[in-house]
Amino acid sequence: MVSSLPLKPLLPGTLVQGQPATLGVMGGGQLGRMWAQAAQRMGYATAVLDPDAQSPAGLISHHAITTTYDDPAGLAQLAQLSHAITTEFENVPAAALEQLARQRPVAPTAASVAVAQDRIEEKAHFQRCLDAKGVPVKVAPYASIQNTEDLQAVPLGLFPGILKTARMGYDGKGQVRVANPAELQAAWAQLKHVPCVLEQLLPLVAECSVLVARGADGNCVHFPVQRNLHRNGILAMTEIYPGNVPADLAQQAVAATRHIAQGLNYVGVLCVEFFVLDAASPQAQGLGRLVVNEMAPRPHNSGHYTLDACDQSQFDLQVRTMAGLPLTVPRLHSAAIMLNLLGDLWLAHAGMPPWDAVLALPGTHLHLYGKTQARAGRKMGHLNITSATPQEARAVALQVSALLGLPLDFDVDSKPL
């Protein structure tokens, strides 16, 4: 696929054919909002396309286009207003990105996003480029299920497993745990017989992710490895400090992520998620301790700490990649913990979580996304805690959790590795 990126950088604060240099985004959620804030800080105007007239990014942008993602007139307007375009979510229709790319530079490309939209293609891409580069990181054993023959042919060794829809899953939605073939059959019916993958349930001791930013010139920089803790399938907390993940695994995860980006000729910010397996388990003997799970072709919730703990945030680098600006290696200057703030918190505190008490604690940075309707599980904001040491960051995180009533139990144990 031909890269549609500018040969010349789009310099911020300039006029392009009489119009202020403007960057556009498909999707107006919190990721689009934080991207727009980074772009505006640098001097760009921003344009957002989202069906919701009150979208978090639309509310703060110079231009908000309120149409569906496949509306030709809305897309034409976005292309007319913006000199370069990105996306804040992976389920954007590939045809929409292709239409935009006929008129403007689009990063990441429709082809890269298409791989991330489909777990079957994504796993095949991971295994192909990691094997080719001799990186000893594998995907979880899996079978793809597209028809009843596939269902019947599933090897018993995949049980117990997790059935996941091949497309459109997020925050653990579209997933069912199954213990045997009968449960698998019922779960596939529950998921309406859409294409799925059955993955072997692995003995996780931790989860981590790596963010890279790659420019059109192939220059690729990465952030430190993030350790992620989920609750009910939704990211609850990310911890970042040297040693959060054993050094050999961290190195492997970074190498794997860089190869995955390179293999797509990727331009933009890319996040790859990994599992760390129990070293004593038979699965770790067969697969190795690090298993690659999935990727997001955009900034990621686990990278929100970069806003306060790094000299460049993931959103700054997203802006640089799409505008063809140089990338510098981001530097972590503080130990950090990110706590996700879900709607449950608003429901538990009658709409008024005690932010004044939280912000009285050292190194706390509150980010709210401008969403007025709190719902259980809805991402309303996050709190970054930065400190000189991981111990201090943890101590503040415990105080914040007590003030907000955040539970300290996670899907996978949080003890040090």
The verdict on 230 binding ligand ATP (CB under 6 A) reads: yes
Category of 294 on φ-ψ map: left (φ > 0), alpha (ψ -120 to 50) or beta = beta
List helix spans (H) across 231-354: 247-263, 282-287, 306-309, 314-323, 343-348
The verdict on 118 binding ligand ATP (CB under 6 A) reads: no
Cβ closest to ligand ATP, residue 291 vs residue 309: 291
Q: Which does 258 bind (CB under 5 to 8 A by kind): ligand ATP, Mg ion, none?
A: none
The residue range among 31-39, 41-49, 265-273, 340-348 that interacts with Mg ion, by the rule CB under 5 A, is 265-273
The verdict on 416 binding ligand ATP (CB under 6 A) reads: no
Shortest Å, Cβ 171 to ligand ATP: 4
- What is the rounded distance in angstroms from the CA atom of residue 371 to the CA atom of residue 194? 32
Map residue 269 onto helix, strand or coil.
strand
- What is the rounded distance in angstroms from the CA atom of residue 349 to the CA atom of residue 132? 52
Shortest Å, Cβ 5 to ligand ATP: 27
Query: 3-state SS string over 219-257?
Result: CEEECCCEEEEEECCEEEEEEECCCCCCHHHHHHHHHHH
Shortest Å, Cβ 91 to ligand ATP: 11
- Do the beta carbons of residue 86 and residue 23 sit within 8 Å? yes
Query: x/- string (CB under 6 A) for ligand ATP, residues 273-302?
Result: x-------------------xx--------
The verdict on 167 binding ligand ATP (CB under 6 A) reads: no
The verdict on 171 binding ligand ATP (CB under 6 A) reads: yes
Q: Can you tell me which of 59, 120, 151, 201 binds ligand ATP, judged by CB under 6 A?
A: 201
- What is the rounded distance in angstroms from the CA atom of residue 22 to the CA atom of residue 40? 9
Cβ closest to Mg ion, residue 305 vs residue 346: 305
Q: Count of H helices and E strands in the chain?
A: 14, 20
The verdict on 27 binding ligand ATP (CB under 6 A) reads: no
The residue range among 126-134, 267-275, 304-312, 341-349 that interacts with Mg ion, by the rule CB under 5 A, is 267-275
Span 142-161, contacts to ligand ATP by CB under 6 A: none
Q: Can you tell me which of 25, 114, 140, 267 binds ligand ATP, judged by CB under 6 A?
A: 140
Shortest Å, Cβ 122 to ligand ATP: 10
Picking from 134, 277, 273, the residue whose alpha carbon sits closest to that of residue 212 is 273
Span 203-262, contacts to Mg ion by CB under 5 A: none
The verdict on 202 binding ligand ATP (CB under 6 A) reads: yes
Map residue 275 onto helix, strand or coil.
strand
Beta partners for residue 143, in sequence order: 198
Q: Can you tell me which of 172, 263, 362, 377 binds ligand ATP, judged by CB under 6 A?
A: 172
Span 271-300, contacts to Mg ion by CB under 5 A: 273
List helix spans (H) across 87-170: 94-101, 110-117, 119-132, 148-152
311 Cβ contact list (under 8 Å, min separation 6): 330, 331, 333
**Burial level of 281, CB count in 10 A (0-12/13-18/19+)?**
middle
Q: Can you tell me which of 199, 239, 308, 316 binds ligand ATP, judged by CB under 6 A?
A: 199
Cβ closest to ligand ATP, residue 224 vs residue 297: 297
The verdict on 88 binding ligand ATP (CB under 6 A) reads: no
Q: Can you tell me which of 34, 36, 130, 162 binds ligand ATP, judged by CB under 6 A?
A: 162
3 Cβ contact list (under 8 Å, min separation 6): 109, 216, 265, 267
AA letter at 405: G
- What is the rounded distance in angstroms from the CA atom of residue 300 to the CA atom of residue 210? 10
| Interacting residues with Mg ion (CB under 5 A) | 273
| Interacting residues with ligand ATP (CB under 6 A) | 140, 162, 164, 169-173, 199, 201-202, 204, 207, 230, 233, 273, 293-294, 411
